[in-house]
Amino acid sequence: MSKVILSVSRLVKKYPEVLAVNGLSFDVYEGECFGLLGPNGAGKSTTIEILENVINADSGEVLYQGLPRDKNFAQQIGIQFQNTALQDFLTVSDTLRLFRSLYDNPVPLSQLIESCALEGLLHRDNRKLSGGQRQRLLLALALINDPKVLFLDEPTTGLDPQARRNFWQLIERQKSHGKTIILTTHYMDEAEVLCDRIAIVDRGKIIALGAPSQLLRQHLPGMIVRLPKTAIGDPEFLNFKINFTQFFIEIITENVEAVVAQLLAHKIPINDLTIKAPTLEDLFIKLTGHALRE
């Protein structure tokens, strides 16, 4: 891939109660979409805010294009925070105008409206926007200075499936314009759709780093055969590696036929059997030993 745009090494951030970030190191390449994945409280937001230069790390280093970040950094990046209130009583168009005048070289208003699908919302009060509309306005604010790097902190949390898919399209469009995107999410499907590379973060540490498909091949080769626990009594007769979840048993195998043949040979009903490719969620559970949204 192309050259490194952001380089992060040995980042540490302590809060009075918790060690939020515990020695993170990774590189982000120009033009890629890099995802920080992890459960709530894993340290994703703290990490991304350190990268944005909004909060300071206790120790560690962040280099932008090989150099420490200077005053100019703020003009080169766009940020969408996780929880941002906007001024009450201002309309979408007032808000865009306000933020445009805070930057030296803002993107034309018409371009922002077009790229974030804000047509028809311009005269609406900020408080009367739906979740998806709000996130689109916040994305427009992040894009106002035509940034090189776009930071998105859980951009689709709380949106309905339709709105999430619409938002993904907008982000795909920014990717195709060559922007580097760094996003945090706890939705694995979002990361699979959008991210070129991901870092799975748990308790302030990176536990896996790479392209989603490569990580899956590496840690979960094969397919998952899943059966309800009720369908199978004592699974010990199966000589495969078995995972137990709350309601299911899961057999991870590269030879699905052999598994099914063995189940049939033991007269196990296979009406409720499912076979699926492993997802990032399965990977996460395997790596951390606990479910993602706990």
Report the interface residues with another protein, using CB under 8 A: 52, 54-56, 74-75, 79, 81, 83-90, 94, 97-99, 101-104, 141
Closest approach of Cβ 101 to another protein, in Å?
Answer: 4
Closest approach of Cβ 272 to another protein, in Å?
Answer: 46
Which CB atom, from 46 or from 288, has the smaller least distance to another protein? 46
Whole-number CA gyration radius for the chain: 22
Q: Partners of 249 in the beta sheet?
A: 227, 244
Closest approach of Cβ 103 to another protein, in Å?
Answer: 6
Which CB atom, from 83 or from 271, has the smaller least distance to another protein? 83
Which CB atom, from 48 or from 224, has the smaller least distance to another protein? 48
Pairing status of strand 19-29 against strand 4-14: antiparallel
As given in the structure block, the two tokens for residue 46 are 């703290």
Which CB atom, from 81 or from 167, has the smaller least distance to another protein? 81
Q: What is the dihedral of CA 14, 185, 132, 134, to 10 degrees?
A: 20
Closest approach of Cβ 58 to another protein, in Å?
Answer: 12
In whole angstroms, what is the distance from residue 34 CA to residue 198 CA? Answer: 6
Which CB atom, from 56 or from 176, has the smaller least distance to another protein? 56
Residues 6+ apart with CB under 8 A from 93: 109, 122, 123
Write out the H or E segment, with its range, that includes residue 243: strand 242-244
In whole angstroms, what is the distance from residue 156 CA to residue 86 CA? Answer: 17
Closest approach of Cβ 79 to another protein, in Å?
Answer: 5
Phi, psi of 272 (to 5 degrees): -95, 15
Which CB atom, from 55 or from 260, has the smaller least distance to another protein? 55
Closest approach of Cβ 12 to another protein, in Å?
Answer: 16
Which CB atom, from 96 or from 263, has the smaller least distance to another protein? 96
Closest approach of Cβ 222 to another protein, in Å?
Answer: 44
Closest approach of Cβ 279 to another protein, in Å?
Answer: 33
Would you call 268 exposed, middle or buried from its count of C-beta atoms within 10 A (0-12, 13-18, 19+)? middle
In whole angstroms, what is the distance from residue 136 CA to residue 122 CA? Answer: 12
Which CB atom, from 85 or from 265, has the smaller least distance to another protein? 85
Angstrom distances, CA of residue 208 to CA of 18, 35, 36, 83, 104: 22, 12, 10, 27, 39
SS3 129: coil
